[in-house]
Amino acid sequence: MTPQELSQALAAILADLVAARGSDIEVTEQDTQVERPKNRDHGDWASNAAMKFAKRVGANPRELAEEIVARALQIDGIAHAEVAGPGFINLTLDAASAGETARRVVEQGERYGRSDVLAGQSINLEFVSANPTGPLHMGHTRWAALGDSTARVLRAAGAQVTSEYYINDAGSQMNKFGRSVLAAVLGEDAPEDAYPGEYIQELGRKVREQLPYIVELAASDRAQALEEVQEAAYQTQLAEIKDSLERFNVHFDVYFSERSLHEAGPDGSPSPISSAIDRLREQGYVFEEDDAIWVRTTAFGDDKDRVFTRGNGVYTYFAADAAYYLSKMDRGFGEKIYLLGADHHGYIGRLTAIAGAAGDNIETDISVLIGQLVNLNGARLSKRAGNIIELDDLLEWLGSDALRYWLARYPADSPLSLDGEKVRSRTNDNPVFYVQYAHARTCAVDRNAEAAGIDRSAFAPELLTHATETELLGKLQQYPGIVAGAAELREPHRIARFLEELAGAYHRWYDNCRVIPLGEEPVADLHRTRLWLNDAAGQVLRNGLDLLGVSAPERL
């Protein structure tokens, strides 16, 4: 019996008792959720449902709890139920019911932990979105890891998720980038405002190979040469960014170009950015003042109204943000999630106001999550980029698994300082090693069991009575609820923390319960059943690591 099934059973019992008192109060399984007691002597699961509902139906909490307990004892799989304190309900499952979890996990495999709690939700999740003017650096790594993990967790809960990278390939930074690379191509001194770093020189060399005629073109038509160099360097740098992300096991469904917002349709229709103002005007939030067109974003909590187009006809950054948001609406996304860095607090009011001005519900249709900075002791500045720590260097030093796991195991809004040597260490003090080692152990048990002639041909869950087996089964039962909660809260760090608890429970079970008999002891159904439990633990470790984008090695 799973925690969800217990909650459903308690909800049904409580609904009957509430109705018997003449009340029409609705009872759902959210009202009767169960938790693991801190003191295991209190049972396997506990609920405070009676205390939550007693006052609402005019009952004494303890008396209502006793009525619930009396009915709960009639449910198959519940071995014991009692009332504690002012009205807590403690429940103990029989061994067979608890042990069935092992079979359920093994049979469901990769599907175990997945649900439909967010089914029907279409979500656009935008993250990283670094300018394509240089390599990705440590400042991007946290959102890359958290964003991809969040997408995986949301999908596991049944949501349709499109992970999206917004390419800032229009505007002054691109012109600066083009001038920087052109100078490198021509062997000229860099402009005063040039992007620094050896990578610009590398791009210059690559562009010269791609465009062997470029030096001659620059001598006759520098403007045309600048345009071609800028485009070639942009495509080369973007390809390197995509390659870095793939090696970090971060995948995007869409790379959305800002330039597309400025381009007219093939039939000559207005560009998205030029038509955006008309669409916002229809909502009644556009006004003109001081030779400029404004959007009244203060109506939705922004600190000031925003300029869309200045008197010279030049669109502002806000205009591009608005057109981009409208594009997400047009593509059918119900919720738009933005994951932004610590220096983007000002965007919360701006983006929320765009949503409101576009006619969306700012409470449900947009979420702006701000992440805090991360620093990594021992990391060195990139020799290639000069003034930053490149993602590629971090991957070479620490590896994708360790970096992703550590970045995902903390809430996004907490500042993060990591010790590089600890992150890469192979000891139990390193959480990612501890979890991966637990999975590798389950695989070693499988190999040894096969060599000893032990298989899963028998399953007797009532035999799983050791305290560490009860603990391990309880952890496995919790996993679906952990995934659903992480998805609803957009907090993938809950998966990492759970995996560490599960690994600890597995290691304790491994130290106390043998799958392979000692000496001449014959193979019994207990050993075969324990193999089911071993494989169930490995499956959940594997499933959870996959949600974090981390591998589950079979050997360490």
**Yes or no: domain 427-547 corresponds to CATH 3.40.50.720:** no
Q: What is the mean pLDDT of residues 12-32?
A: 88
Mean pLDDT score across all residues of the chain: 93
List, in order, residues 6 or more apart from 313 with CB less than 8 Å away.
none
* Digit-coded pLDDT (tens) for 288-333: 998 999 999 999 989 899 999 987 788 999 999 999 999 999 999 9
Distance CA(22)–CA(3), nearest Å, equals 29
Distance CA(154)–CA(161), nearest Å, equals 7
* Digit-coded pLDDT (tens) for 76-122: 888 889 999 999 999 988 888 889 999 999 999 999 999 999 999 99
Q: What is the strand order of the sheet 122-126 is part of?
A: 254-257, 160-167, 122-126, 335-340, 366-370
Tokens of 80: 């014991």
Output the pLDDT for position 268: 86
Q: What is the mean pLDDT of residues 387-394?
A: 88
Distance CA(2)–CA(476), nearest Å, equals 9
List, in order, residues 6 or more apart from 149 with CB less than 8 Å away.
404, 408, 492, 495, 547, 548, 549
Residue 29 carries which side chain, given as an amino acid letter? E
Output the pLDDT for position 383: 64
Output the pLDDT for position 231: 98
Q: What is the mean pLDDT of residues 341-347?
A: 82
Output the pLDDT for position 44: 85
- CATH superfamily label, 3-93: Arginyl tRNA synthetase N-terminal domain (3.30.1360.70)
Instruction: Identify which of 362, 418, 386, 361 has the alpha carbon closest to the alpha carbon of residue 142.
Output: 418
| Res 343 pLDDT > 90 | no
Domain residue extents for the chain: 3-93, 122-168+251-370, 172-247, 427-547
- CATH superfamily label, 122-168+251-370: HUPs (3.40.50.620)
Q: What is the mean pLDDT of residues 165-176?
A: 95
Q: Half-sphere exposure of residue 349, counting CA atoms within 13 Å on the CB side?
A: 13
Output the pLDDT for position 215: 97
Tokens of 495: 């998966």
Output the pLDDT for position 503: 98
| Residue 286 banded pLDDT, cuts 50, 70, 90 | very high
Distance CA(390)–CA(418), nearest Å, equals 16
* Digit-coded pLDDT (tens) for 425-474: 999 999 999 999 999 999 999 999 999 999 999 999 999 999 999 999 99
Tokens of 193: 């405002």
| Res 199 pLDDT > 70 | yes
**Residue with the two structure tokens 């360790």:** 402
Residue 259 carries which side chain, given as an amino acid letter? R
* Digit-coded pLDDT (tens) for 203-261: 999 999 999 999 999 999 999 999 999 999 999 999 999 999 999 999 999 999 999 99
| Res 384 pLDDT > 80 | no
Instruction: Please report, rounded to a whole number, the percentage of residues in the chain having pLDDT higher than 70.
Output: 99
E strand or H helix at 294, and its extent? strand 292-295
- pTM, two decimal places: 0.90
| Res 267 pLDDT > 70 | yes
| Res 39 pLDDT > 90 | no
Asked whether 534 and 515 are in contact (CB, 8 A), the reply is: yes
Q: What is the mean pLDDT of residues 385-409?
A: 91
Instruction: Please report, rounded to a whole number, the percentage of residues in the chain having pLDDT higher than 90.
Output: 78
Asked whether 380 and 192 are in contact (CB, 8 A), the reply is: no
